[in-house]
Structure 1
Amino acid sequence: MSVSITGGQFGTTRTPGTITDYVAEQLRNRIVLGVLPPGAKVRVYDLADELGVSRVPLREAVRELEAESLVDNLPRRGTVVRELSVRDLRDSFEILQAVEPIAARRAALAEDRSVVDEMGYWLAQMRDLSDKHVPHVSEEMLHAHRQFHFALFRAGGDGVLQRHLCMLWNTCERYVMSSLPDSNRLAAAAREHTQLVRKIRARDPDGTAEVLNQHLLASLTSCLRYLENRGVDVN
């Protein structure tokens, strides 16, 4: 999806992607939101009929989700939603903590302020959804949250950094969404998002990176707490 600026505001007109992009997003959202829970079989042929697409883009979409560690292809079982994994969680966040600050610093130093304007737009959308009591585990909130962070990733420039950040974010978001019923964490995350936009607007690369690292650490801690409450050994 892309957004355009009209009269100083970001519109929400969708720019059509490929069929594979569409199918991948549909499947990804179902996994991240728990509609397809860990261990669930992804009935590829049924989904092709439901979404009105051929099997080729569906198989391509499944390979994309494999790269994001959201699904596994298992012998005699086919495609299944990947089980929650402490190692996946820790590894993904550790890599994010190493590379996402690169994009954050570039956003703060960029002459083009469209990135922070876009982040501000999606931050306002998340606030509006929250004020309307739209559930945080919902497609609307997931979309706004994703676009907020992906705008930041675009500040890193086209290419390998942006692509890998998007993949890692999608891997982590399934855990983040699962842990969101924690009202304290929801409030803290909203403050962190706000601080992130302020630091970028102030052209403060060090402050931006610091807020981002605090945000990632707090998110990881919340996700680990969620897994621990499910009886998973997180040590």
Structure 2
Amino acid sequence: MYPVAPLTPKALYEQVAEQLRQRIFRRELAPGSWIDELKIAEEFGISRTPLREAIKVLAAEGLVTMKVRRGAYVTEMSDKDLHDVYHLLSLLESDAAAIVAHTASAEQLQQLQALHAELERSTGERDQFFAVNERFHMALLEIANNRWRDQLVADLRKVMKLNRHNSLLKQGRIEESLTEHRNLMAALQAHDASAARLAMQSHFENGLQAAA
């Protein structure tokens, strides 16, 4: 019988990882910037051990890049990286949209419609629009009910946020995105799996053009 480690609240390194993750998303740690372990450890009042564990978590998510003998840096997204992430998200989420169109109950479609209505009301505030948009996409994935796809999409969306502030800088992109969501909702409510798949693919294709 192996000894059982005591159960504790959320591990310190996970809390540190979330703090750093949010700093990266807010651009307080900019793409390409070096992560000063000593400075951050002192700021958080922790040893470098949990900080290094936190950095490993972020590296596994793709948010941090480890460079030999140079340390950890916030990942910079190349054009190829951006295309690759959008390509995979398009494949995964368009498949989920087709499944939802085919299998969703009236209550589940009502849940998505409520999120869509909230998105319609969020067009005046970019950060709020991003947040509601992500909730919509994650709700759709939850309804599609494939935890392995959910895990892949969650990690890819974290990486996508490295470039997210560029994606709505294109004039009129929020309005275009909203139109794409309306087309998607219409396909879902019509239980048209092919149209839902195509609507989601178009959504990501247009998003990539705006973000590139």
In 2, the alpha carbon distance for the partners of 1:118 and 1:23 equals 33
Unaligned 5+ runs, structure 2: 1-8
Q: Is the counterpart of residue 218 in structure 1 residue 206 in structure 2? A: yes
Partner of 1:70: 63
Asked whether the 8 Å contact 2:104–2:143 carries over to 1, the reply is no
Residue in structure 2 matching 1:161, options 115, 131, 149: 149
Residue in structure 2 matching 1:102, options 84, 89, 95: 95
Unaligned 5+ runs, structure 1: 1-16, 225-235
SS of the equivalent of 1:73 reads strand
Partner of 2:132: 144
Q: Is the counterpart of residue 177 in structure 1 residue 144 in structure 2? A: no
SS of the equivalent of 1:105 reads helix
In 1, the alpha carbon distance for the partners of 2:46 and 2:186 equals 43
Q: Which moved more, 1:46-55 or 1:27-36?
A: 46-55
Aligned residues: 203
Alignment of 1:42-57 (within 5 A): 42-44=35-37, 47=40
CA shift for structure 1 position 91: 1.3
Partner of 1:232: none
Higher relative contact order (Cα pairs below 8 Å, separated by 6+ residues): 2
User: What are the Cα deviations for residues 98-140 of structure 1, in whole angstroms up to 9, with x where unaligned?
Assistant: 222221111112243454334333333333333xx43x1x3x4
CA shift for structure 1 position 72: 0.7
Look up the equivalent residue of 2:141 and give its one-letter code.
F
Q: Is the counterpart of residue 87 in structure 1 residue 80 in structure 2? A: yes
Q: Is the counterpart of residue 122 in structure 1 residue 110 in structure 2? A: no
Q: Which moved more, 1:193-202 or 1:117-126?
A: 117-126
Change (3 A) 1:111 1:68: same
Q: Percent identity?
A: 28
Structure with max Cα Rg: 2
Q: How large is the Cα RMSD of the aligned pairs? A: 2.9
Look up the equivalent residue of 1:84 and give its one-letter code.
M
Q: Is the counterpart of residue 196 in structure 1 residue 184 in structure 2? A: yes
TM-score (norm 1): 0.71
Asked whether the 8 Å contact 1:107–1:200 carries over to 2, the reply is yes
